[in-house]
Structure 1
């Protein structure tokens, strides 16, 4: 599996208020992803980033991190082959992402995604 980027997901009560802290204080740039329950911010120089979310809109649990991969089908098949718990099934979301959630052996839930 090839991971192409990673964003830590931080659960916040108000995305707009939290975005102000990360953008104004930390100097991160907000990426317009067009959803009120999640936003992504990244450092313009390094590309390091975070995602702020109130609650995942379609999944039963909130992931602690979102990993973009080159081939989400391959990642899903490998997770199943290894017997890892799939928390949210492989789904093409209305916002153009194909993703699934997997529980790591340590209990953390990860969002594994590929842009469509």
Structure 2
């Protein structure tokens, strides 16, 4: 498994209410997507980005980061082999990703994800 990128997932009470701070003040003005419960704001100049999440639409908890990988199935198999707690099973989500949530030994929950082709 190769990690392609890691994106912070910040819990917010309201995505629209967060826009003024993250998009306007921090300059992350490009809204890459907005599903109503999660949105990604990106800087057009630098590519820096973050995601804001109210409550995950299908998982029982919210992740602190999303880790984009090249082979989510291999990552899932390795997490199970290593005995890590799977918080949300490997799932093909309707918005075009395949993902699972795993709890790190320190308690943080990570969204391990790849776009379906």
Q: TM-score, normalised by structure 2?
A: 0.94
Distance in 2 separating the partners of 1:86 and 1:18: 30
Match of 1:76 in 2: 76
> What is the alpha-carbon distance in structure 2 between the residues aligned to residue 113 and residue 19 of structure 1?
24
Query: Which consecutive residues of structure 1, in runs of 5 or more, have no partner in the other structure?
Result: none
CA positional deviation for 1:40: 0.5
Structure 1 residue 54: Cα displacement: 0.4
Deviation per CA, 1:54-100: give whole Å up to 9, x if none.
00000000000001101100110110110000000000000000000
Q: Secondary structure at the match of 1:33?
A: strand
In structure 2, stretches of 5+ residues that fail to align are none
Q: Deviations over 1:15-43 (max 9, x none)?
A: 01102211111111333424101100122
The number of aligned residues is: 116
SS at match of 1:36: coil
Provide the C-alpha distance between the structure 1 equivalents of 2:75 and 2:29, rounded to a whole number of angstroms.
29
| CA-based RMSD | 1.1
Equivalents in 1 of 2:5, 2:71: separation in Å? 13
CA contact (8 A) 2:32 2:41 kept: no
